[in-house]
Amino acid sequence: MPWVKGRMAKRTRRTVEEARAAILDAAEAVLHEVGPAGLRVTAVAKRAGMAHPNVLHHFGTREGLLKALTTRTVERSTERAVRAIQAAVVAGPEHRKESLARVLDAVYEGEQGRLMAWLVLSRRVDDEERLDMEPLVKLTHAWRTSTLGPGDIQETRRLILLSALAMLGDSIAGEGLVESLELGTGEQGRRDFRAWLAGFLIEQIEGRRE
């Protein structure tokens, strides 16, 4: 049977890598808004500027797309965190507070926090994608001891946990809560809080040093 119905649109042919990246970027934007359960293959395709079967061609199924996106997000997040801490280490002890503030900013910077929150909440991270926190613990503890002298590593672990949970909460509810508590408006209020938190953590560590 000949092929007559409809007129074909112009096609832009990408390499496999380009196509996959474009689709993942689009999926990330969609997921940022509606979360994994609300992610529609058609919406992703539309945002990526292609027909939806092409998305399925590259990722097999909707579920495959979500899995790939989860992997990429987790990798990027841990990468980002490790790099920020390494930067803090080389910055030296005299910039403790600024470095720590920058670490806090970096961990769930921009949309990454919301993405992680969605993925964790829908149990997509933590099952397949167990986070490996050990390098982060080692790095942080090394940084801490190098600037403040020896300390309890369990305490480091707890402080990391506190920071991680607070940053995760911040990326979910930060804007609303900062304003509800009259601690400033919008992004500035959140940055102020993070700066304060950095100082708070360092004071606490110093107070326990002896």
Partner DNA sequence: TTCACTATTGACAGTTCTGTATATAAGAGC
Partner DNA sequence: GCTCTTATATACAGAACTGTCAATAGTGAA
Q: Among DNA, a copy of itself, none, what does residue 204 contact (CB within 5–8 Å per kind)?
A: a copy of itself
CB of 180 to a copy of itself, least distance (A): 4
State the minimum distance, in angstroms, from the CB of residue 210 to a copy of itself: 13
Rounded to the nearest whole angstrom, what is the least distance from the CB of residue 19 to DNA in the complex? 3
How many Å apart are CA 58 and CA 16, to the nearest integer? Answer: 8
H helices of 39-128, where? 41-48, 52-59, 62-91, 96-107, 112-121
DSSP 133: -
Distance CA 22, CA 41 (A): 13
> 156: Cβ–Cβ under 8 A, 6 or more apart, which residues?
137, 140, 141, 144
Q: Is 41 in the site for DNA (CB under 7 A)?
A: yes
Q: Which of DNA, a copy of itself, none lies near 67, with the C-beta cut-off 5 to 8 A by kind?
A: none
CB of 53 to a copy of itself, least distance (A): 23
- What is the residue-wise DSSP string for 184-195? -SHHHHHHHHHH
Task: Please give the size of the binding site for DNA, defined by CB under 7 A.
Answer: 32
Is the Cβ–Cβ distance between 58 and 163 less than 8 Å? no
Write out the residues near a copy of itself by the rule CB under 8 A.
34-35, 37-38, 114, 117-118, 120-122, 125-126, 130-133, 137, 154, 157-158, 160-162, 164-170, 172-178, 180-183, 193, 196-197, 200, 203-204, 207
| Cα distances (angstroms) measured from residue 209 to each of 85, 104, 149 | 21, 22, 8
Q: How many other CB atoms are found less than 10 A from the CB of residue 9?
A: 8
Buried b (16+ CB within 10 A) or exposed e, 70-107: bebbbeebbebbeebbeebbeeeeeebeebbbbbbbbb
Output 59 or 170, the one with its CB closest to a copy of itself. Answer: 170
Residue from 21, 51, 82, 131 touching DNA (CB under 7 A): that is 51
CB of 54 to DNA, least distance (A): 4
Binding at 131: pick from a copy of itself, DNA, none (beta carbon under 5-8 Å per type): a copy of itself
Question: 2 contacts which partner out of a copy of itself, DNA, none, CB within 5 to 8 A by kind?
Answer: DNA
Residues at the interface with DNA (CB under 7 A): 1-3, 5-6, 8-16, 19, 39-43, 49-54, 56-58, 61-63
